[in-house]
């Protein structure tokens, strides 16, 4: 069944850096600073995992010891923490659940009790971006086009007229369009915009048509592959999406020229997932003034388990950031002799990347996947209103894309059931002919390609009267399968057409369907291999 395992997440990454349980804390600090990591797995002489050592722990103990202990020479065992572990075969969502827990900043991936990878919120941000960057760009483009159509036809009468121009009238009611009245697919939107009668309305904001149509056709092809989970976009496909987004942004800022006397419609400025919405439910960030003592900073970091704090002036305006790596490096390079606890924060303050509260989640992801950026401060009128880290991004990504991951797993599971029930081309084609009928131009093949079925088509294939007896020993009873998968189909369509986030009930139905499908027994041997006729009945 389709899934993202932790082995996939860590594949291709550089060799894991570990500390030995015989090392000193100073040696662990040296490794952390050299490799720019906040925690290290700790192994024994045989390479077995003993625990972890983290900057958070070292600095907390340094604070509790009043700065008196010689941590550079202290045996590492004094700062050892239990490791939070999963195996390479565990699921991505299991790691995310752990990383969302308070106090958990890293998950160690093990194989035969040896560490083979480490996952942090930053790693999850990189991985989620690789999975869903294309989806985020497609959503931005699709919502922009949808709002453009809504702006061009703000009332029902003008919208119905545009739809009739595009799709023709309904056979049953000439005053209604043949399609599109309830909702428009991406392809439908392109047809509405590009229809001869409609295009003059859109040309001032989107023209020339010779550029708009081929560009959006590339977007449509990438979108279809994403919607049917046919692999991730390659570099050229991602570039096509970026070009389309940049082109739309430039069209918003371009002077509009039109031969019509009426003012041309502006291209809508769509901002998906603004940080102001994300931060609205969160408490204001804890900040320190630049005159505060480093000891006060370490107390706050230990109390709230923060790795960084914004630094403000007396007027509350952002002036920088103080973080654990900078404090630890100051301790290390002064050989532990500097009285850090009594020193002012401005001795370890760093410049900080910032975002506007009006910026979007996508812009935050762009910034937080920049090398060397572990956190960013969101500001409004120069004052910090929120702080975003890899841990925050992990939580937000799950909220945005957990549904798509679950839908992909369910679709992948159904594909596997079909492949097991119809293991060769002849039997698969026979099943497709039974479900959809023969192709009018070539009756030896099915009307629909069984390798390119939509989710709804796959449900029809499986539940067809001729095909269902093959699946019943695995999926039966049919009424349960159909009711459950119909709910999945409805949620899937809402997700894939970017009609808002899941509510708790929709999330629950995907979790139930995924769990239910994973518990189904294996396909029994039905003797279909090599068959060219109808599927054999089982039972």
Residue whose tokens read 């659940």:
97
Q: If DSSP states are collapsed to H, E and C, what string results for 177-236?
A: ECCCCCCCCHHHHHHHHHCCCCHHHHHHHHCCHHHHHHHHHHHHHHHHHHHCCCCCCCHH
Residue-level pLDDT at 262: 44
Helix 25-35 / helix 55-64 crossing angle, nearest 10 deg: 130
> Which whole-number Å values give the CA distances from 464 to 365, 460, 532, in the listed order?
44, 6, 18
- For the chain, the maximum distance between any two Cα atoms, rounded to a whole number of angstroms, is 87
Q: Is 121 helix (H, G, I), strand (E, B) or coil?
A: helix
Q: How far apart are CA 9 and CA 2, in angstroms?
A: 14
Q: How far apart are CA 25 and CA 57, in angstroms?
A: 11
Residue-level pLDDT at 517: 94
Q: Residue 326: how many CA atoms within 13 Å on its side-chain side? A: 21
Indicate the burial class of 299 (C-beta count within 10 angstroms; 0-12, 13-18, 19 or more). Answer: middle
Q: How far apart are CA 58 and CA 80, in angstroms?
A: 9
> Which whole-number Å values give the CA distances from 190 to 198, 204, 344, in the listed order?
11, 16, 60
Residue-level pLDDT at 526: 57
Residue whose tokens read 């592959």:
225
Residue-level pLDDT at 400: 85
Q: Is 39 helix (H, G, I), strand (E, B) or coil?
A: strand
> What sign does the dihedral 529-530-535-537 (CA atoms) show?
negative
Q: What angle do CA 452, 243, 131 make, to 5 degrees?
A: 50
Domain 6-112: CATH architecture, name and number where available:
Roll (3.10)
Q: Is 120 helix (H, G, I), strand (E, B) or coil?
A: strand
Which candidate, 404, 152, 171, 339, places its Cα nearest to that of 263? 152
Q: Would you kindly state where each structural domain of the chain is located, as residue ranges? A: 6-112, 126-253, 275-390, 422-518
Both tokens of residue 276?
């102001």
Which candidate, 415, 494, 425, 424, places its Cα nearest to that of 461? 415
Can 6-112 and 275-390 be said to share one CATH topology?
yes
CATH 3.40.80.10 fits 275-390, yes or no: no
Q: What is the pLDDT along the chain (539 residues), one digit of tens a residue?
A: 456 899 988 988 888 999 999 999 999 999 999 999 999 999 999 999 999 999 999 999 999 999 999 999 999 999 999 999 999 999 888 998 999 888 899 999 999 999 999 999 988 888 888 888 999 999 999 999 999 999 999 999 999 999 999 999 999 999 999 998 888 999 999 999 999 999 999 998 888 999 999 999 999 999 998 888 877 899 999 999 999 999 998 888 765 554 443 456 778 888 888 888 888 888 899 999 999 999 999 999 999 999 999 999 999 999 999 999 999 999 999 999 999 999 999 999 999 999 998 898 888 988 998 888 989 999 999 999 999 998 888 888 888 889 999 999 999 999 999 999 999 999 999 999 999 999 999 999 999 999 989 899 999 999 999 999 999 999 989 999 999 999 999 999 889 888 778 899 999 999 999 999 999 999 887 554 434 344 433 33
Which candidate, 368, 376, 358, places its Cα nearest to that of 321? 376
> What sign does the dihedral 356-240-226-190 (CA atoms) show?
positive
Residue-level pLDDT at 528: 47
Both tokens of residue 205?
């904001």
At a CB cut-off of 8 Å and minimum separation 6, what does 381 contact? none
Contact criterion met (CB below 8 Å) for 50 and 28: no
At a CB cut-off of 8 Å and minimum separation 6, what does 358 contact? 271, 274, 275, 276
Q: How far apart are CA 136 and CA 36, in angstroms?
A: 29
């Amino acid at each position: 069944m389709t899934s993202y395992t932790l082995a996939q997440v860590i594949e291709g990454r550089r060799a894991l850096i570990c500390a030995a349980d015989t090392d000193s804390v100073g040696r662990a600090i040296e490794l952390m600073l050299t490799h720019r990591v906040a925690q290290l797995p700790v192994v024994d002489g045989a390479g077995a995992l003993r625990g972890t050592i983290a900057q958070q722990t070292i600095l907390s103990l340094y604070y509790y010891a009043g700065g008196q202990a010689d941590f550079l020479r202290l045996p590492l065992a004094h700062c050892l923490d239990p490791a939070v572990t999963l195996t390479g075969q565990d699921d991505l969502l299991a790691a995310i659940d752990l990383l969302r827990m308070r106090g958990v900043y890293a998950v160690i991936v093990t194989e035969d009790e040896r560490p083979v990878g480490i996952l942090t919120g930053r790693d999850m941000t990189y991985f989620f971006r690789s999975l869903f960057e294309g989806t985020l760009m497609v959503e931005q483009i699709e919502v922009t086009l949808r709002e453009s159509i809504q702006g061009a036809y703000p009332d029902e009468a003008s919208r119905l007229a545009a739809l009739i121009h595009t799709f023709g009238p309904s056979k049953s009611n000439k005053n209604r369009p043949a399609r599109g009245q309830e909702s428009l697919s991406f392809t439908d939107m392109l047809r509405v915009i590009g229809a001869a009668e409609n295009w003059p309305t859109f040309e001032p904001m989107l023209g020339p048509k010779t550029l708009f149509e081929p560009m959006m056709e590339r977007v449509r092809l990438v979108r279809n592959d994403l919607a049917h989970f046919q692999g991730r976009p390659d570099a050229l496909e991602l570039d096509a999406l970026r070009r389309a987004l940049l082109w739309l942004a430039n069209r918003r800022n371009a002077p509009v020229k039109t031969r019509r006397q009426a003012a041309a419609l502006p291209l809508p400025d769509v901002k998906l997932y603004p940080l102001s919405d994300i931060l609205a439910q969160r408490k204001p960030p804890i900040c320190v003034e630049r005159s505060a003592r480093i000891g006060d900073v370490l107390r706050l970091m230990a109390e709230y388990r923060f790795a960084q704090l914004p630094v403000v002036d007396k007027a509350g305006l952002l002036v920088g950031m103080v973080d654990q790596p900078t404090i630890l490096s100051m301790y290390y390079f002064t050989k532990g002799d500097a009285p850090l606890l009594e020193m002012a924060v401005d001795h370890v303050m760093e410049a900080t990347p910032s975002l506007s509260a009006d910026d979007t989640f996508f812009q935050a992801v762009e910034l937080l996947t920049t090398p060397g950026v572990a956190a960013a401060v969101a500001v409004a009128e120069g004052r910090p209103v929120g702080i975003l880290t890899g841990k925050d991004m992990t939580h937000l990504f799950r909220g945005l894309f957990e549904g798509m991951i679950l839908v992909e797993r369910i679709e992948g599971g159904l594909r596997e059931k079909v492949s097991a029930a119809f293991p060769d081309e002849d039997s698969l084609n026979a099943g497709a002919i039974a479900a959809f009928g023969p192709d009018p131009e070539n009756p030896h093949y099915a009307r629909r390609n069984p390798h390119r079925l939509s989710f709804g088509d796959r449900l029809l294939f499986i539940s067809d009267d001729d095909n269902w007896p093959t699946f019943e020993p695995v999926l039966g009873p049919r009424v349960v399968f159909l009711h459950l998968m119909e709910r999945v189909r409805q949620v899937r369509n809402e997700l894939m057409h970017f009609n808002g986030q899941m509510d708790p009930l929709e999330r629950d139905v995907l979790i139930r369907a995924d769990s239910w499908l994973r518990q189904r027994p294996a396909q029994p041997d039905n003797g279909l291999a090599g068959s060219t006729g109808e599927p054999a009945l089982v039972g």
